A and B are shown apart, each in its own frame.
Chain A
Amino acid sequence: MNFAFFEVFDVYLLEAIVNGILLGGVLALMALGLNLIFGVIDVVWICYAELIMIGMYGLYYTYAVYGLPMWIASPMCIALVAVLGLLLHYIVIRPLLDAAPINQLLATGGVLFFLQSFATVAFGIDFRNLGIRLPVLAIGDMHFSYARLLAFLAALAGMVTIYLFMTRTYIGTAIRAIAQDRQIMVLMGVDSRRLYLVTSALGGALAGLAACLLVLQYDVHPFVGLSFGPITFMIVVLGGLGNFIGGFVASFVFAEIISLGGLYSDLEWGYVLAFAFFILMMFARPQGLLTRRS
């Protein structure tokens, strides 16, 4: 490898850019979950980040506390959050399918409250860590944590799997069709209830996967959802609620902003920068905020 090539760029800048891409992978995974739910069921799960938080605790307990190997603990965690997604839909969303969207939001807000408090009561407010120390990959003067690389690859794998599911299976195709035009559902003779449940489980599973990947890199505590929740919402709103490609692109854009912002200052300023960017984009490109369905 010719390191002279890297000496042209500021090494730390390059590192931040690459880290941004890696972060973008996980954010894209979360955006995918949210867009899937919205695209099919037309509901936004405000508590999505909290579902991920529960998943993170799930992995913490199965792996770090009960000592199950990772290759058992992770699928369990994913399944756990998938079930949570199912329950969320069945108990909270289903009765509200015809209600005003704001009621649906408030209901998922209630669940957010509930999950955060549940975690506080059940697990306490201390920060928990998996205790895994993965090695760091060094390229020249740049350092990339394997945890992050692994997360990125796993996120990509997750998205590819979803893509294959959506294009190769009947249910997946049905989901894609409905995501484009909900009226079709009745005409296609699709059982909407079953479809919604499958979608909710999928959305939950994606959250579960994101949880596994996040807990590798970050501590978990009841309010960890507050760190990435707002970002995820900004991503899906800017990309267009229900717009998968938009969400994908927006994820990486925001990830870069956060990463570069974090390069020059604290991580939280990266978030602030992202929000400022969000506001600016609303002025500049309002079309980015309208879903195909409005």
Chain B
Amino acid sequence: MTARKLLIGVTALALIALPFVYKQPYHLHVLVLILIWSFAYTSWSVMGRFGLVSLGHGGFMGVGAYVTALLWNHLGVSPWIGIPLALLAAGLLAIVVGYPCFRFRIIGHYFALVTLALSGIVLQVITATRDFTGGSLGYTPERTKGSVLAAVQFVDKETWYLIALLVWALGLLIWYLVDGSMLRHAMEAISEDEDAAAAAGINVTAEKLKITVLSAVMTAFAGALYCQYQMFISPDTVSGISVSLQMVFAAVVGGIYVALGPTVGAVITILLAEALRIGFGTAAVGWDNLIYGVLLVCFIVLLPQGILGSLLVRRAAAK
């Protein structure tokens, strides 16, 4: 136990000290992206690990990003207030869509289809309100001069790296908290046998909603953070089906049942995207998703019991 704690401590220190020792801006940029997307993928896994596979998390991310940016640009609301409001919006959306689904036992691929429609609709809303949001052309939050804490805008990559690191660690913390909670047992019971879970006293709808709202809010936070970092958002980078599928792909490839699994997935997807961008330049647009698509199909077809099955087997063997 102490050896493990020592290892974690040393790694944490190394991660924190990194930007002070190694200041290559491009590499720090990639690291920030990896950290933010890891957090997003981890948010998806919070639900996905219990069989609540959502193909619509792009919608929540989009809500997080756009609400924050719109409140800042149009109403001058600081992201310190804007982000909580965005999280609230995402949570409400999760409830509005989740409640009828769970109350009426819409699960499995029906649920996936409903969430798919959700993310598509969020994209449509963003496009429809193009007068406010800039539509498919994208949207830019107004820049402040230099780093302004009140506007959550920082010029230097080092600061952003530390923020992203903190958020990523927060994501892992939440994952561990859920992992050790009764909610986790309840969700596992529900995913195995909903009726028996209800017979054990579990309010199935309520517990499912809880995990869904948590996941949605976390994802929205990732979206807001991404917006503040990149200072540019567009419907297809932060919302829509592509983002949703990308989340599923990364989490599934990296490993849904393991805390660091989504992080691994993020490392793979982002490094791949960057490698392609460097290798092919602008001609690389679309190639990364092409490869994800092929990889996703291969992964699912070739793993004998499918992704979830083989991970369960590996996990049981490891016990």
Check whether chain A touches chain B (CB < 8 angstroms).
yes
Does A102 sit within 8 A of B, measured CB to CB?
yes
Check B114 for interface membership: any CB of A closer than 8 A. yes
A233 touches B117 (CB 8 A): yes
Among B106, B127, B128, B296, contact of A106 (Cβ-Cβ < 8 Å): B296
B241 touches A102 (CB 8 A): no
Selected contact of B109 from candidates A44, A119, A120, CB within 8 Å: A44
- CB of A96 within 8 Å of the partner chain: yes
Roughly how many angstroms separate A223 CA and B301 CA in the complex, as a whole number? Answer: 25
- Complexed CA–CA distance, A293 and B120 (Å): 27
Q: Is B285 an interface residue (CB 8 A)?
A: yes
In the complex, A26→B186 CA distance in Å?
44
> Is A125 engaged at the interface, CB distance under 8 Å to the other chain?
yes
User: What's the nearest-Cβ distance from chain A to residue B208, in Å?
Assistant: 15
- Asked if A112 contacts B245 (CB within 8 A), the reply is yes
User: Once the chains bind, are A100 and B128 in contact (CB under 8 Å)?
Assistant: no
B233-265: which have CB < 8 Å to A?
236, 240-242, 245-246, 248-249, 252
Chain B: interface secondary structure? helix
Confirm or deny: A113 has a beta carbon within 8 angstroms of a beta carbon on chain B. Answer: yes
Q: A226-B120, A268-B125 are in contact. Are A105 and B289 (CB under 8 A)?
A: no
Q: Mark B104-137, 1 if CB is under 8 A from A, else 0.
A: 1010111011101111110111011000000000
Contact indicator B296/A110 (Cβ below 8 Å) = yes
A44 to B112, CA, bound (A): 11
Q: Interface size of B by Cβ–Cβ distance < 8 Å?
A: 55
Which residues of chain A are near B166, meaning CB under 8 Å?
A: none
User: Is B287 a contact of A268 with CB atoms below 8 Å?
Assistant: no
Given the contacts A103-B300, A121-B287, A272 and B293 also touching, CB distance less than 8 Å: no
Total A residues in contact with B, Cβ cutoff 8 Å = 53
Interface hits, B63-111 → A, CB 8 Å: 96-97, 100-101, 104, 106, 108-110
Q: Which B residues are CB-close (under 8 A) to A156?
A: none
B99 to A, closest residue via Cβ: A283
B25 at the binding interface (Cβ < 8 Å)? no
With an 8 A cutoff between CB atoms, is B9 at the interface?
no
B125 and A102: CB pair below 8 A? no
Contact between A237 and B110, CB atoms less than 8 A apart: yes
Q: Is the CB of A100 within 8 A of B306?
A: yes
Known contacts A46-B116, A105-B109: does B121 contact A272 (CB below 8 Å)?
A: yes
Given contacts A44-B109, A268-B125, A275-B118, contact A117 B101 (CB under 8 A): no
| B248 lies within 8 A of A109 (CB) | yes
| Min distance, Cβ A38 to any Cβ of chain B, angstroms | 10
Shortest C-beta distance, A44 to chain B (Å), equals 6
| Residues of A contacting B300 in the complex (Cβ-Cβ under 8 angstroms) | 96, 99, 103, 106-107, 110
Q: Is A92 an interface residue (CB 8 A)?
A: yes
Among A109, A117, A271, point to the contact of B286 (Cβ < 8 A): A117
Q: Which residues of B contact A233 (CB under 8 A)?
A: 113-114, 116-117
* Interface flags, A72-110, vs B, CB<8A=1, else 0: 000000000000000000001001100111111111011
Query: Complex: how many Å from CA A222 to CA B124?
Result: 16
User: Do A110 and B294 have beta carbons less than 8 Å apart?
Assistant: yes
Given the interface pairs A92-B301, A282-B101, the reply to whether A112 lies near B121 with Cβ below 8 Å is no
Interfacial chain B residues near A266, Cβ < 8 Å: 128
Q: Contact check: which of B53, B97, B109, B297 meets A114 at CB < 8 Å? A: B297
Measured in the bound complex, the distance between the Cα atoms of B121 and A237 in whole Å is 15
> Is A13 located at the chain interface by the 8 A CB criterion?
no
- Bound-complex Cα distance A234 to B113 (A): 8
Instruction: Assess the B292–A237 pair: CB atoms within 8 A.
Output: no
**In whole angstroms, what is the CA distance A107 to B298 when docked?**
8
Q: Are A237 and B104 also in contact (CB < 8 A) when A113-B296, A114-B297, A230-B120 are?
A: no
Question: Assuming A44-B113, A110-B293, is B121 touching A230 (CB within 8 A)?
Answer: yes
Is A41's CB within 8 Å of the partner chain B? Answer: no
Pairs A-B, 8 closest by C-beta atoms: A114-B293, A230-B120, A268-B128, A120-B286, A110-B296, A113-B293, A117-B290, A117-B289
Name B's A-contacting residues (CB within 8 A).
Answer: 51, 53, 55, 96-97, 100-101, 104, 106, 108-110, 112-114, 116-121, 123-125, 127-128, 236, 240-242, 245-246, 248-249, 252, 285-290, 292-297, 299-301, 305-309
Sample (5) of A-B pairs whose CB atoms are under 8 Å apart: A102-B51, A102-B53, A105-B53, A116-B293, A230-B120
